[in-house]
């Protein structure tokens, strides 16, 4: 089993993945191109760990131990030289990933597993130029990676059974809930479900059925409240398949079937209003701290995680 993990890319996803490995006792090399990126990642990890301490999920000692296990570096060779598993968490640009994978195949140990956190590309696309395709796999974490349990695992027919088994066990060891997909489909499972729901939510918003806050309340205090413990397929069983047969037959013809992003999103993106990252999106964050909103979100995720675990 792996003892040393490397994470390539220290951004939103990378630093959270590194944190999970470190908390589970693994030595972690966290690589990025610039020291300033790594400094920002270190601050994010420290803040996240401090939040776990304040919520009594971990001790102060566990926090310090985890921080000591994370080695920050801008030297790719040093980052991967001893790694048993390498997680790629760089931007979703296929040429960048191909270039990185070529380097990793040359620099990493021959038996090192190379995993991608992609949410966009198929595993077949990722390994088009790989010389050792048997050790490539997708481990799709969810944002924030250090708090959301799900990891979607996607293999290629070339991926060895040993790699799949090792990765599944590894995800459990670091506290995740891995799901191994039987087929490699665009968006995997979670993003397809999210996209279907988001499409209908923005359609309802456009049609004036409810405003954004009301639609979010329906999700958080209704559907999402149930789905935290009872999935959609279980919900159908619990509600009665005859009932859900009628519900779907009645609603399917009138649900939104748009083939592109909602016009509202297109308009806001064109204006540079991207949500919390710019201080304005569907909602305005002019009168509130985005950092405080993120902190509140993470606190709630931590509390939900504690409840689900015990």
Residues belonging to the active site: 119, 140, 152, 191
Backbone angles phi, psi at 297, to 5 degrees: -60, -50
- Annotate the chain with three-state secondary structure: CCCEEEEECCCCCHHHHHHHHHHCCCEEEEECCCHHHHHHHHHHHHHHHHHHHHCCCCCHHHHHHHHHHEEEECCHHHHHCCCCEEEECCCCCHHHHHHHHHHHHHHCCCCCEEEECCCCCCHHHHCCCCCCHHHEEEEEECCCCCCCCEEEEECCCCCCHHHHHHHHHHHHHCCCEEEECCCCCCCCCHHHHHHHHHHHHHHHHHCCCCCHHHHHHHHHHHHHHHHCCCCHHHHHHHHCHHHHHHHHHHHHHHCCCCCCCCHHHHHHHHCCCCECCCCECCCECCCCCHHHHHHHHHHHHHHHHHHHHC
Q: In whole angstroms, what is the distance from residue 295 CA to residue 213 CA?
A: 20
CA atoms of 158 and 156, how far apart (whole Å): 5
Instruction: Report residue 285 CA to chain centroid gap.
Output: 24
Radius of gyration of the chain (CA): 21
Record the tokens describing residue 104, joined without a space.
Answer: 């990793």
């Amino acid at each position: 089993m792996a003892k040393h993990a490397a994470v390539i890319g220290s951004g939103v996803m990378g630093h959270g993945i590194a944190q999970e490995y470190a908390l589970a006792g693994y030595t972690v090399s966290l690589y990025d191109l610039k020291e300033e990126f790594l400094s920002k990642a270190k601050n994010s990890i420290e803040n996240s760990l401090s939040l776990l301490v304040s919520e009594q999920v971990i001790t102060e000692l566990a926090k310090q131990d985890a921080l000591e296990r994370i080695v920050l570096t801008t030297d790719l060779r040093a980052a991967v030289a001893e790694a048993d598993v390498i997680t790629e968490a760089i931007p979703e640009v296929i040429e960048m990933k191909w270039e990185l994978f070529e380097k990793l195949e040359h620099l990493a140990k021959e038996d090192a597993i190379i995993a991608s956190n992609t949410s966009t590309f198929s595993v077949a696309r990722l390994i088009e130029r790989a010389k050792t395709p048997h050790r490539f796999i997708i481990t799709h974490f969810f944002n924030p990676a250090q708090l959301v349990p799900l990891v979607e695992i996607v293999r290629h027919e070339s991926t060895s059974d040993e790699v799949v088994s090792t990765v599944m066990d590894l995800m459990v060891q670091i506290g995740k809930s891995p799901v191994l997909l039987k087929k490699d489909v665009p968006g995997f499972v979670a993003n397809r479900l999210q996209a279907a729901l988001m499409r209908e939510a923005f359609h309802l918003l456009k049609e004036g059925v409810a405003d954004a806050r009301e639609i979010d309340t329906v999700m958080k205090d209704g559907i999402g409240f149930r789905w935290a413990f009872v999935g959609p397929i279980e919900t159908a069983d619990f509600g009665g398949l005859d009932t859900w047969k009628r519900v779907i037959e009645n609603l399917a013809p009138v649900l939104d079937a748009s083939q592109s992003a909602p016009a509202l999103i297109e308009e806001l993106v064109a204006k540079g209003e991207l949500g919390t990252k710019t201080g304005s999106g569907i909602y305005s964050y002019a009168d509130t701290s985005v950092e405080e909103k993120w902190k509140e979100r993470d606190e709630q995720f931590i509390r939900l995680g504690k409840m689900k675990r015990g």
